Structure 1
Amino acid sequence: MGKSRKDAVIRPVGFGPVTAGRSQQNHYAIIDIGSNSVRLVVYDQLGRAPLPRFNEKSLCRLGEGLAQTGAIAPENFGRTVEALRRFRAIADAMGVSRTDVIATEAIRRATNGPELVRLIEAETGLKIRVLSGAEEARFAALGVVSGFFRPVGLVGDMGGGSLEVAEALDDTVGDRWVSLPLGALPVEALLAEGLGAAKSRIDAMLKTELPPSLTKPTFYPVGGGWRALARVHMMSVGAPIHVVHGYTVAPDELRDFARQLYRMSPDQLAALPGMPTRRVRTVPAAALLLDRVLKRLDPDIVTFSALGLREGWLYSQLSERERSLDPLIEGAQLIGLPLARVPGFAAELVRWTAGLFPDETLGDTRLRVAVCALSDHAWRDHPDVRAEESFRRLLHFPFIGIDHAERVFLASAIHARYGGRADAPYLRPANRLLSKAGRKRTQVLGRALTLAYRLSAGMPKVLAGSRLRIDADCVHLQVGDAARVPDSEAVMDRMKLLANAIGIKRFTIETLAEQD
């Protein structure tokens, strides 16, 4: 068995000293040679919260016909070499300092796979790492580990040629894994024999190879086919956030939807809102496999991951210290601090807001820290649009280490920080993902930040000379010499907004005792 939850590494929750300047590092690239597509992703850096700068794929279909012939078809062979030539040229033009190339099921199984590897290396100078089935499963699960906060569940990565399943256990990968020949192309071939026969063959393989006792409660689907299915589902239900990563659906609902998809004609599929044109052919296979896997595993919930094999490989290249960093906080710092007027003010905000919520959990704390990091990112925007534009931007920003409800929390708290009205109509669809208590927290945190900026003019030394204390019936702003302010209307107005958000009427400005 793998490491248990209680043994997980505890990630630090706070600001790192060098994060704000790391966006100037050299770019890092990964080329993933899969059974269906070959993809290049160039990241801003090799770090804990990498942002993709460029992403391109070529549908080379290396796995097409592989089961029948045992070899990669000549036309797909040549197409792959051309794709790698182009990707190398792009990486060089972008000044990429390091490019890693990994290859999976098709090259591993094909009789002419070694020949293709030799030709690519000769033509491009790139070295290719051909992964084993165990490595595919491990890196896919590491991608989920890197992209969520303490994930516990089973990761299923459906590629073009195979399905890898492994356990995600907090900050590590469990010992149990399987690799099955159930990728998009093999399942597509099974469907060609008839739906009933395909179900029977898949079910028999899953029953033999995939024990239902593997880790619950969450199943994390990974892979392009399953991401496409998630996008179409989001559109079909009118989801307020159109981001695959962290999208959560009940298994029964998802199975019903998958069954609809694999019974549709290509024309019907192509007409669905959100359906990627290049996925129309393989979506029925992805839907059928997801339906049968969910039936076999019976998870409590399904959460889609946009991070998988490539991101797991990237994560594995980091130092132990870097892996221990929180990806949400790292991303928020990388985005928020360089845009802030005084980057060091965010750290003081973290301290100043620490007493707002006595029942704050570790998960709550990381959200509050991220909000503080983002709290001055929009100061250049016009005051009339700061709140709404920030809300919409942060709702869909490519943060990792976060689910959809947490996205809403970040966006709503910053909306309140910029003076947005809590009853603004455009908030309602997304705010339904938060509990009533969660919505209140966004207002309290946002209004507290508004007060902090007004009181201190965004200066850490001034804010450090004050304390915010909340009693059952009163909000107390305590100020010392550095933060001493007149009984100004601007500060009092923001005190009132905070008190109203908390649900109390009294608020006072008091002198902070010198010993404090």
Structure 2
Amino acid sequence: MQRAAGGDFDDRVIEIETRRILNRRQEHYGVIDVGSNSIRLVVYDDLSRAPFPRFNEKSLVALGAGIGEDGRFSDKTIARAVDAVSRMSAIAKAMEVTRIDVLATEATRKAKNGDDLIAAIREATGLEPRVLAGEEEAHFTAYGVISGFFQPKGMIGDIGGGSLEVAEVIGDRVSDRLTSMPLGALPVKARLDEGYSEAKQWVDGILAESLPPLLTEPVFHAIGGGWRALARVRIAQERLPISVVHGFEMPAEELRKFAKAIAKMTPEEVAELPDVPGRRIETLAASALVMSRVLKKLAPERVVFSAFGLREGWIYRQLDAEEQYRDPLLECAQAIGLPVARVPEFSEALGRWTDDLFPGETLAGRRLRLAACALTDIGWRDHEKVRAKESFQRLLQFPFVGITHPERAFLAVVLLCRYGGKLDDEVRAVTDALLAPADLRRAEILGRVMQLGHRFSAAVPEILDHATLEIEADAVRLRILDQRSNPDSDAVLQRLKKVAKATGVDVAEIV
């Protein structure tokens, strides 16, 4: 049982488990999301705690726009949707996907003949779509945030083409405070076409009636393509060093002003924004309007963007309790790092060897340290002159889950130092904005210690187990417990001196 920050206890497993990871037999899994604006297929490498997308295809069928004045899908709209799902089903089966789930949301449940669409998909593909009720959609979306972050707390909001789902997450569970509102990008755009003031008043009226207050942590998790597009534009405008949207966060008031400005733009003005997705140009102002009004109503302190939502929440709920409780970052790091390592078992040994490196280590700190150990050999095939910087850049942009942008920077610095890299101006340009000096120092220490462990042991777990590292006020000592493992190399002492320098100690010695 691990002690969490603040003295609380958490019984989740935070360990490197080499045999379990290497012995896992992957079975590809697919989800087809029949949304109001698009139909999307995502094929994942496995049904697991850290599912990694192997293939992603989207078809802009615009089901929501295909509902006529009589409240029914047109025959043409149904035909387009069936063609899209049929093609995606064929692709998934060709990829030897063992299971395909089809989820339908707002447009299908809203249309009077939604059952006709479901029947047509069933007849054409043999698949059995599940039409989610509004609260079900909010429920699974909230679990997507739980799947994609480490113990998230606060409110989540998912804007789609037809609706906005809002729910509350508390660590590993979803509260009963959840709702679905007709504030998707398409209906809000229709209102905006009539005038900004009228649209704002209409949005505010629905929020006043249906949006629950923010009573947990002052954090709002933003999900959905429209809101991710806002994050992409902001990242590009500011030229931020990490371009990954998942885990990107902004002060809520800053984002509200930014979204309010975009909400008043024409499509032509939106098209001039940096890195704006072309398919979002027509609806970005609508998504921005909903964001600005939600933030005004909830008044959180910060907003965290999530790439995980309905599909990942659905996956999460298919897992057993033991798998759900695993840490998403460590699962991802192990899945990436262990299969490519020269000696996969060394990561586990390195985790044990560094267990006492940071006294009073929190659960959050432990998961970062073990993730770094799991990734310790990802650059060994690179040329020695580029390993450090290549690993640094790779970890900054890699699609990890369960991680914030500062934590990405932390891991990137650890791997930079593990490969002997320097904290030069290029690195500082990234870390100064993301890491406090104490966190940067801890990352450097861990990286230098990992480099020492590799050099001393030749990445052999048994040799590493024959030594301990002692960091005292007067010296940093590598204490050899078995003389057969005694290093006869100046290179080991040089790396030990780097550890000493990182910790601010003058003396380094091998005992």
Into which bin does the TM-score normalised by the smaller protein fall?
Answer: over 0.9
Query: Where does residue 228 of structure 1 map in the other structure?
Result: 229
Report the CA distance shift for 1:393/1:444 in structure 2 as closer, same or farther (over 3 A): same
Counterpart secondary structure, 1:339: coil
Deviation at 1:291, TM superposition (A): 0.2
Query: Where does residue 119 of structure 2 map in the other structure?
Result: 118
Query: Where does residue 252 of structure 1 map in the other structure?
Result: 253
Q: Which amino acid aligns with 2:102?
A: V
Q: How many residues align?
A: 506
Deviation at 1:113, TM superposition (A): 0.5
Report the CA distance shift for 1:133/1:214 in structure 2 as closer, same or farther (over 3 A): farther
Query: Where does residue 514 of structure 1 map in the other structure?
Result: none
Whether the aligned pair in 2 keeps the contact of 1:22 and 1:334 (CA below 8 Å) is no
Query: Where does residue 242 of structure 2 map in the other structure?
Result: 241
Q: Which amino acid aligns with 1:423?
A: D
- How far apart, in 1, do the equivalents of 2:28 and 2:152 lie? 28
- How far apart, in 2, do the equivalents of 1:397 and 1:19 lie? 23
- How far apart, in 1, do the equivalents of 2:191 and 2:452 lie? 62
- How far apart, in 2, do the equivalents of 1:379 and 1:12 lie? 28
Structure 1 consecutive aligned stretches of length 4 or more whose deviation exceeds 4 Å: 5-9
Deviation at 1:213, TM superposition (A): 4.1
**TM-score for both structures, normalised by structure 2:** 0.96
Whether the aligned pair in 2 keeps the contact of 1:72 and 1:110 (CA below 8 Å) is yes
Query: Where does residue 263 of structure 2 map in the other structure?
Result: 262
Report the CA distance shift for 1:280/1:353 in structure 2 as closer, same or farther (over 3 A): same
Q: Which amino acid aligns with 1:368?
A: R
Q: Which amino acid aligns with 1:209?
A: S
Report the CA distance shift for 1:486/1:155 in structure 2 as closer, same or farther (over 3 A): closer
Deviation at 1:32, TM superposition (A): 0.5
Deviation at 1:482, TM superposition (A): 6.1
- How far apart, in 2, do the equivalents of 1:427 and 1:63 lie? 47
Query: Where does residue 346 of structure 2 map in the other structure?
Result: 345
Q: Which amino acid aligns with 2:59?
A: S
Query: Where does residue 187 of structure 1 map in the other structure?
Result: 188
Q: Which amino acid aligns with 1:234?
A: I
Query: Where does residue 38 of structure 1 map in the other structure?
Result: 39
Q: Which amino acid aligns with 1:360?
A: E
Q: Which amino acid aligns with 2:242?
A: I
- How far apart, in 1, do the equivalents of 2:182 and 2:299 lie? 21
1:445-503 deviation per Cα after TM superposition (whole angstroms, max 9, x unaligned): 00000100010000000001111111123111111226632452111100000000111
Is 2:12 the counterpart of 1:11?
A: yes
Query: Where does residue 213 of structure 2 map in the other structure?
Result: 212
- How far apart, in 1, do the equivalents of 2:69 and 2:194 lie? 15
Alignment of 1:451-470 (within 5 A): 451-470=452-471
- How far apart, in 1, do the equivalents of 2:68 and 2:310 lie? 23
Query: Where does residue 56 of structure 1 map in the other structure?
Result: 57
- How far apart, in 1, do the equivalents of 2:224 and 2:18 lie? 35
Say which is worse superposed, 64-73 or 433-442, in terms of deviation: 64-73
Alignment of 1:382-461 (within 5 A): 382-461=383-462
Q: Which amino acid aligns with 2:14?
A: V
Query: Where does residue 3 of structure 2 map in the other structure?
Result: none
Deviation at 1:259, TM superposition (A): 1.4
Deviation at 1:360, TM superposition (A): 1.6
- How far apart, in 1, do the equivalents of 2:478 and 2:499 lie? 11
Whether the aligned pair in 2 keeps the contact of 1:455 and 1:491 (CA below 8 Å) is yes
Q: Gaps (5+ residues) in structure 2?
A: 1-5
1:11-67 deviation per Cα after TM superposition (whole angstroms, max 9, x unaligned): 211123544326651210000001111000000000011110000111111111648
Deviation at 1:420, TM superposition (A): 0.5
- How far apart, in 2, do the equivalents of 1:126 and 1:369 lie? 41
Q: Which amino acid aligns with 1:80?
A: A
Whether the aligned pair in 2 keeps the contact of 1:466 and 1:478 (CA below 8 Å) is yes
Deviation at 1:429, TM superposition (A): 2.4
Q: Which amino acid aligns with 1:281?
A: E
Q: Which amino acid aligns with 2:77?
A: N
- How far apart, in 2, do the equivalents of 1:479 and 1:134 lie? 60
Alignment of 1:147-226 (within 5 A): 147-226=148-227
Q: Which amino acid aligns with 1:70?
A: G
Counterpart secondary structure, 1:398: coil
- How far apart, in 2, do the equivalents of 1:30 and 1:306 lie? 15
Counterpart secondary structure, 1:384: coil
Q: CA RMSD in A?
A: 1.7
Query: Where does residue 473 of structure 1 map in the other structure?
Result: 474
Identity of aligned residues (%): 51
Whether the aligned pair in 2 keeps the contact of 1:462 and 1:482 (CA below 8 Å) is no
- How far apart, in 1, do the equivalents of 2:458 and 2:314 lie? 43
- How far apart, in 2, do the equivalents of 1:67 and 1:298 lie? 37
Q: Which amino acid aligns with 1:359?
A: G
- How far apart, in 2, do the equivalents of 1:172 and 1:264 lie? 38
Whether the aligned pair in 2 keeps the contact of 1:355 and 1:469 (CA below 8 Å) is no
Say which is worse superposed, 423-432 or 403-412, in terms of deviation: 423-432
Query: Where does residue 496 of structure 1 map in the other structure?
Result: 497
Whether the aligned pair in 2 keeps the contact of 1:147 and 1:327 (CA below 8 Å) is yes
Deviation at 1:133, TM superposition (A): 1.1
Q: Which amino acid aligns with 1:119?
A: A
1:153-207 deviation per Cα after TM superposition (whole angstroms, max 9, x unaligned): 0010111111111111101111111111111111111111210011111111111
Is 2:115 the counterpart of 1:108?
A: no
- How far apart, in 2, do the equivalents of 1:319 and 1:486 lie? 46
Counterpart secondary structure, 2:65: coil
Q: Gaps (5+ residues) in structure 1?
A: 511-516
Is 2:300 the counterpart of 1:302?
A: no
Counterpart secondary structure, 1:338: coil
Query: Where does residue 513 of structure 1 map in the other structure?
Result: none
- How far apart, in 2, do the equivalents of 1:338 and 1:56 lie? 27
Q: Which amino acid aligns with 2:452?
A: L
1:74-124 deviation per Cα after TM superposition (whole angstroms, max 9, x unaligned): 332221111011101110111101111111111111111000000011001
Counterpart secondary structure, 2:339: helix
Report the CA distance shift for 1:427/1:337 in structure 2 as closer, same or farther (over 3 A): farther
Alignment of 1:359-378 (within 5 A): 359-378=360-379
Query: Where does residue 86 of structure 2 map in the other structure?
Result: 85
Counterpart secondary structure, 1:154: strand
Query: Where does residue 293 of structure 2 map in the other structure?
Result: 292
1:337-396 deviation per Cα after TM superposition (whole angstroms, max 9, x unaligned): 011111001111011111211132110110000000000111111101100111111111
Report the CA distance shift for 1:191/1:346 in structure 2 as closer, same or farther (over 3 A): same
Query: Where does residue 278 of structure 1 map in the other structure?
Result: 279
Report the CA distance shift for 1:74/1:202 in structure 2 as closer, same or farther (over 3 A): same
Whether the aligned pair in 2 keeps the contact of 1:8 and 1:171 (CA below 8 Å) is no
- How far apart, in 2, do the equivalents of 1:463 and 1:483 lie? 12
Query: Where does residue 139 of structure 2 map in the other structure?
Result: 138
Whether the aligned pair in 1 keeps the contact of 2:18 and 2:344 (CA below 8 Å) is no
Q: Which amino acid aligns with 2:34?
A: I
